[in-house]
Every structure is written in structure tokens, then in C-alpha cells.
Structure 1
Amino acid sequence: MSSPETGDDRFDTPHWPAEIRVAKDRRSLSVAFRDGPTVGIPAELLRVESPSAEVQGHSAAGKTLVAGKAGVAIASVEPVGNYAVRIGFDDGHSTGIYTWRYLHKLGTQGEAMLADYAAALAAKGLRREP
């Protein structure tokens, strides 16, 4: 099993969670990191920026713009080793593995990422709402 001591950049992170909680309405994930911030990450952002190949593709050019996920909810959160969680959503998507580093990025850069996402949708005539 990989760990920060392995030197593998995918798992090497100073951002270890102390606590992960799904909101009662299942529309966000709260992550308290040991190194400081507690962040709230909307389920919509988690879904549309899923690290899965289905969303990210196999290259930057292959990324899929996922529309209509404003109302998506978190259905499950399962640990993956000691470096990540797999998040399942009520729309059936559950293939992304969210490393601690990636959750930290989504939590600290999420507003900008959601703004970029909304702009990309608008440019293609798509909407956040289902």
C-alpha cells in the first residue's frame, strides 16, 4: 500500500484529513485537514471535477464537461487505502478516487473552479441545473 513515505507524488501530501463529514442534506463534504483548513466542498463540484477517467479523460484534451449536476447528492464515501476516498453520487457515478491532495485542491480552489465550470457550460450553451 502506498503512503507518504514512498515518495510517490500521487500520494505524497502534507494535507492529511483529520475528519471527513457528509452534510445532512448530502450536498457537500466537509474536510478538516490536520495542517489547517477545514473546507466545504459542494457535491456538484466533486461530481463535475471527478478524478475518474470518465470525466477527466486520458489527457487534458479528453476532459468531459458534465452538465446538469447542480442538484447531485453524495450517496457514499468509502476509504481507499490510507490516501483517498471513493465518492459515490446519487446519479450513479462512483468511479473517482479522491486523494487527500485533490480534496485539498477542491476545497481551497473550489470557488474559482466552479466559476470556470459555469463559464465553460455557458460557452457551450449548457446549464448547471438538470
Structure 2
Amino acid sequence: MALFGGRIPSAKSAATSALQIWKEGTSFTSSSAQTPRLTRFTLQSPKQAELEYGNGSRFSLSAEFLRVQSPAADSKIRTIQGEKVITGRRHVGIMSVEQVGNYGIRITFDDLHNTGIYTWDYLYNLGANKFTLMRDYIKILRKHNLSRDPQRRK
């Protein structure tokens, strides 16, 4: 696996310049024949990730979006009337990214959440449906009178 010096850069170094985490030509397996091969994953900043796929698809995903769409089965996630609700993550950042096998990545966010594994298929689905998913997330927050902004400290 072609990584920078065998490690994935931290968000701190990613903030200084756009960092290509995986170089084109690195092979990633997909569990779905329809999902294109991921060719590049780049942290543009601690708040933004860029994904490129073999079919030419490119997605720019915010750290907030990736955090609230975490695939983790985490007991800290609030459910209201059966809906998954993660609030106050507007300003969350990505601290680090590590590859998990040949099928996905684990993202550590600056709120210290790191239990979800984002498979290549799941990341493609997030990118392809990001506007619908984000709109649905905001609707759920509004429905329950919640906010994307963190709670103010007293």
C-alpha cells in the first residue's frame, strides 16, 4: 500500500496542504460488482475529504457529514422515535485515517469517535447520495428541535 512513509498523515499536517493518502493504482476490493474502484482518498483539510473512483466519480465529503453518517453501532448515538440522531457536529474535524484491510477505512474524529469502519461501497453510497442524506439529517434535527451546532458551555 502506497502511503506517505508507511503512515497516514494526521489532520494537522493535512490542514497545511492537500494530502493524497492512497495513490492511484492501489487496488481496493469492493463487495459489490457495481461499485467502482476507489482510486484516491485525499484529506483537503481536517474538515474535508475528497474521494475519486475509477469511473470518474469524485465526491467531496465534509467531516461533519462523515461523522453523522458513521456506520458504527455505537451506544452513544441518540435515537428518538427510532431515528438515529447525532447532534452538535458542525465543527468536527478528522484527526486521522487508517486503512482497514482492503475494504475500508477507520476515521478518528476530533470528538474521539473512531468505531465505525467505512467500506469502499459505503463511502461511494455516501458520495452518490450526499445531498439527500444531508437533507434528511437536517430534517430529523429540525423535527426534534435539535441543532448541528455544539451546545454552548455554561
Deviation at 1:12, TM superposition (A): 2.9
Q: Could you tell me whether the CA contact under 8 Å between 1:54 and 1:64 is conserved in 2? A: no
In structure 2, the partner of 1:103 is 123
Runs of 4+ in 1 over 2 A off after TM superposition: 11-15, 61-64
Of 10, 15, 18, 2:39 maps to 18
Inter-partner Cα distance in structure 2 for 1:80 and 1:98 = 9
In structure 2, the partner of 1:77 is 97
Inter-partner Cα distance in structure 1 for 2:112 and 2:99 = 18
Specify which structure has the bigger relative contact order, considering alpha-carbon pairs within 8 angstroms and separated by 6 or more residues. Answer: 1
* TM-score, structure 1 normalization: 0.83
Mark the runs of 5 or more structure 2 residues left unpaired by the alignment: 1-28
In structure 2, the partner of 1:37 is 57
**1:2-23 residue CA offsets vs partner (Å, 9 max, x unmatched):** x55xxxxxx2343221110111
Give the SS at the match of 1:102. Answer: helix
In structure 1, the partner of 2:113 is 93
Letter in 2 for 1:66: I
Deviation at 1:63, TM superposition (A): 5.2
Give the SS at the match of 1:121. Answer: helix
User: Between Structure 1 and Structure 2, how many residues are aligned?
Assistant: 117
In structure 1, the partner of 2:132 is 112
Give the SS at the match of 1:18. Answer: strand
Deviation at 1:115, TM superposition (A): 0.7
2:147 corresponds to 1:127: yes
Percentage of pairs with the same residue:
36
* TM-score, structure 2 normalization: 0.70
